[in-house]
Amino acid sequence: MLSRGLDTMQMQVNGEQRTVQAGLTVAGLLKELDIRPDRVAVELNLTILDRNEFDRRSLQEGDRIEIISFIGGGQEA
């Protein structure tokens, strides 16, 4: 993780504070986290992103991002 500076920004990813490179895209964040984009959904500030937006969408200081996927579950997992 980067230290805080001029070319970095802070955001919340899955409930955790994170410092990333300024101008990072959603796709860039997923790559940094080693997450395959085809198996997840991304919610940015409570709005769900289309998968084809991942490349274009730049993140901003203070964004709240949720990255979810499927896990084992039956009823009331």
Partner 1 sequence: MADDRLTIAGREFRSRLWVGTGKYKDFVETKKAIEASGADVVTVAVRRVNITDRSKENLLDYIDPKKYTILPNTAGCYTVEDAVRYARLARAAGVSDLVKLEVIGDEKTLFPDTAGLIEAARILIKEGFIVLPYTNDDPIVAKKLVDIGCPAVMPMAAPIGSGLGIRNPYNLKIILETVKVPIIVDAGVGTASDAALAMEYGADAVLMNTAIAGAKDPIMMAEAMKYAIDAGRLAYRAGRIPRKLYATASSPIEGML
What letter would DSSP give residue 2? Answer: P
State yes or no: residue 6 binds partner 1 (CB under 8 A): no
Interaction of residue 4 with partner 1, rule CB under 8 A: no
Q: Among residues 3 and 75, whose Cβ is nearest to partner 1?
A: 75
CA pseudo-torsion sign 29, 43, 14, 4 = positive
Q: Is 39 in the site for partner 1 (CB under 8 A)?
A: yes
Site for partner 1 in 46-65 (CB under 8 A): 48-51
SS3 state at 48:
strand
In degrees and rounded to multiples of 5, residue 23 shows phi and psi of 80, 5
Applying CB under 8 A, the residues found at the interface with partner 1 are 13-16, 33-36, 39-43, 48-51, 66-77
